[in-house]
Amino acid sequence: MESCEELYARLLNEIEKLARPFLEVKFTSIQELWQIEVDLVNYQSALQKAIDNEQIIQREVKGKKAGIVSTKPEGWIPQLQLLDAEVKQTDDRIKTYQHAYQLSRQLGDAFAWALLGDWLIPLTKKPSDPTHDGHGLPKEHGLKGMLAIAESLCAAGAGFPILHDMTNCLCTGDITFYDPDGNHSTMEVKTHLKDQSGGRLTLDIETHIPSLINSDEAKKWRAINDRIPKLPSRTFISEADEQVRPPFRRQLDPRLKRQFERMKQAKIWQSMPPHQIVMLNDHHKGISIYHQQDDETHNWGIVRDLVVKARTDGIASCAVDSAFVYSAIYQNSPLAYPWLQGLTRNLVQSSDSVIADTLSILYPAPEKEKNRLWVPVGVPPSDVLPFFLYPLPLDVIMDIMWGRLAIAVVANLGKIVAALQEIGLDAKVPKSEKEFQGTFLPISATRRLADNTIVKIELHQMHTIGLKLIFEFLSLHGFVRLVTEMVKVAEEQANNQREQA
């Protein structure tokens, strides 16, 4: 049996083989791009099966352990030690498979981001517990049905299909069809097995597509529905006011109803023009902003320089915008296997240069209460750019994937707050971890409207923007400008509401 290190190397070699033709744009047709996606889906499916098999083995070994402990036969302690070692080995293998699975889903994220860009943001919102409906590849006939409907609708002119379940980021719906004109469509797919005999599957596939009333998208899908072969699959257009309902289903089941409501909210958000506040339901609002970027919006040049230095010296760091510390650490062998998480962070935090740079972004002792260091840990969130699409050389991207290179950011929230206060916003360092998790930073602004009315504008759910500081290397200048644009949109909305009143 291959060691965990050998398993790690084999699995990541397979991901690299999938990633390179996509990232290097070496495909020459839509069919070749689709084949890369299908290969990625099959790879993830194989990983799921491998994890399931290892978990079965682990349960069997634990059962043997329980039997030995309860009966204590002659020589039972050495037997128990061997079984303990086997449990640990299966645990390490499971972690390795899971690590590869997550990396492959981040590659799936890269597919989605490369084609859809910020249009996908409304689809990244996860359902709140306890109504979470799960987010993993379907198995057996469910996967076959998903691939079949994707291929048939693509051939009928729906666009290039992106399967949500191969990603972390697409949490609403099952398939989004990419349209070069930006008129992308998201659908929910339900597959029902009707018969299985002689190696042949008979499936009943239903699809649900929310569209705005009398929109071009609704007309497009009616035309597609007329073009697809009349197989045992059915496609229905369901409009936002639900005037059109699937004729064979009197009532949506609870899971589908929840999913459909989220799809409708995403569609409303996506259809709004820039610089609008979107009412998603009675309790939630979205905001649509076209964020003009320039060379100062992100600090990619600094990141590139750090990577070059880290490849020579092993570790490199620098203070950025007087508010952040960027650190890069490099080794020829992986810095941390999945079962050694935390090793990279410990190496960075023990570096003299990193410590010195961190001290340089702190307020002096008389103002030390303004300091609040933020050191994000864990997997990057699904609504930020995946590392596969970082504007860095491909060999650097592969180093990140393999774990040979790690890039970390430490932020002083107090400096970010000060930058917002300098432009007239009321921003504060969060009072507690609970407040930080709920709002990121409390940010508000008092504005005088055209009719001299004074209003208070509050920005909520700022974590997505805040995490761009860490995982997209958004500059302090870029962050402040983005927040300013959000406040301006809210102010314009308030003016419009006053005029209409």
* DSSP code per residue over 303-329: HHHHHHHHHHHSEEEEEETTTEEEEEE
CA distance 149 to 205: 8
A 10 A CB-CB count for 29 gives 8
Task: Tell me if residue 283 falls in helix, strand or coil.
Answer: coil
Of 206, 192, 259, the C-alpha closest to 237 is 206
**Which residue, 378, 380, 381, 375, is CA-closest to 354?**
375
> pTM of the entire structure?
0.86
Question: Could you say which residues of the chain have pLDDT below 70?
Answer: 127-135, 194-195, 198-199, 201, 203, 211-214, 229-253, 260, 275-276, 278-292, 339-349, 501
The predicted pLDDT at position 230 comes to 60
Q: Give the per-residue pLDDT at 339.
A: 67
The DSSP-derived string for 405-472 is: EEEEEEEEHHHHHHHHHHTT-EE---SSHHHHHHHSS-EEEEEE-TTS-EEEEEE---HHHHHHHHHS
With vertex at residue 444, the alpha carbon angle to CA 441 and CA 445, rounded to the nearest 5 degrees, is 150
pLDDT, tens only, 241-261: 333 334 444 455 677 777 767
pLDDT at 240: 41
Cα 173 to Cα 14: distance, rounded to the nearest angstrom: 28
Q: Is 405 exposed, middle or buried (0-12, 13-18, 19+ CB in 10 A)?
A: buried
Q: Which residues contact 13 (CB under 8 A, 6 or more apart)?
A: none
Bridge partners of 21, per DSSP, are: none
Identify whether the C-beta of residue 477 lies closer than 8 Å to the C-beta of residue 297: yes
State the pLDDT at residue 438. Answer: 80
